Amino acid sequence: MSGPQCCANPPTLNPTTGGGHVENLGGLNTYVNGSPHSKLAVLLVSDVYDALNLRKLADKIAAAGFYVAVPDFLHGDPYVPNAGRTLQDWIKDHGTVEDKAFEEAKPVIQAIKSKGITAIGAAGFCWGAKVAVQLAKREFIQAAVLLHLSFVTVDDIKAVEVPTAVLGAEFDQISPPALLKQFEEVLIAKSEVDGYVKIFPKVSHGWTVRYNVEDKSAAKCAEEAHQNMLEWFAKYVN
């Protein structure tokens, strides 16, 4: 995760972004949207940047009928490029952040379930994919989607217990196509768990949430990944 691609194309943040609101959910400030009467939920786990850049995607998922939660696992301290702290220093300051976030995700999930939610999907981006794959091992959720993954290993994929989709990039130094192919082999061999790997051509790490909306080609690739994610959740979070 510490490679330069994790820092490429940082999002432009706007604290008023989104049609939802922020509330405390399981001890974390969480952006939420969607009907409180829905029985189906999606948890989004951001990359190292501020989760605000996921609000537009969260709103899209909410419009499809899901209750959506985007917890601030970064505790108000996202990575900010060119702010006097390298990504490596940020990682040191946060410790093994994906393990901490996994533990923090548990009460968030319980809080979501307390609203009457009966099925939950989780999507993780970059290091957030490590959180989602950990949740997928222990059946806290009903389905997982891992997008431009970091830290995820073959052993992680071997351990998943719920349907898992992997959406990767052709140009990704962190999870290159060769590693994604290994994930695919594992998922194919796991006949008891549905899963697939899709490698998007001509895109780079971070393409689903850090793209120029004015670039029609980039936007089209991101939207295709968003649609794949929605289709996966529609199939298995029910």
Q: Helix and strand tally (H, E) in the chain?
A: 7, 8
Least confident of 75-79, 92-96, 193-197: 92-96
* pLDDT, tens digit (0-9, with 9 covering 90-100), for 19-56: 899 999 999 999 999 998 999 999 999 987 766 668 88
The answer to whether 52 and 11 are in contact (CB under 8 A) is yes
Contact 53, 78 (CB under 8 A): no
Residue 12 has pLDDT above 50, yes or no: no
> pLDDT value at position 19?
86
Task: Give the model's confidence band at 119: pLDDT under 50 very low, under 70 low, under 90 confident, else very high.
Answer: very high
User: Across 38-138, where does the E strand assignment appear?
Assistant: 40-45, 67-71, 119-126
- The whole-number pLDDT of residue 5 equals 44
CB atoms within 10 A of CB 48: 23
pLDDT band at 198 (very low <50, low <70, confident <90, very high): very high
Is pLDDT at 3 greater than 50 in this prediction? no
The better pLDDT of the pair 148, 138 is held by 148
Q: What's the mean pLDDT in 72-100?
A: 75
Neighbour tally for 137: CB within 10 Å: 17
Count, residues in the chain: 238
Q: Minimal CA–CA distance to 38: which of 21, 71, 22, 61? A: 61
- 195 pLDDT band (50/70/90 cuts)? very high
Taking Cα atoms as reference points, which of 177, 178, 158 lies closest to residue 168? 177
- 161-189 pLDDT, tens digit per residue, is 999 999 999 999 999 999 999 999 999 99
% of the chain with per-residue pLDDT over 70: 88
Q: Is the per-residue pLDDT at 2 higher than 60?
A: no
Query: What pLDDT does residue 86 have?
Result: 80
Q: What is the pLDDT at residue 13?
A: 38
Return the SS3 of 211: coil
Tokens of 33: 């949207």
Asked if residue 4 has pLDDT above 60, the reply is no
The pLDDT > 90 percentage for the chain reads 66
pLDDT tens sequence across 95-104: 565 678 899 9
Token code pair at residue 26: 């399981």
Cα dist. 47→128, 153, 191 in Å? 6, 17, 30
pLDDT score for 52: 62
DSSP state of 194: -
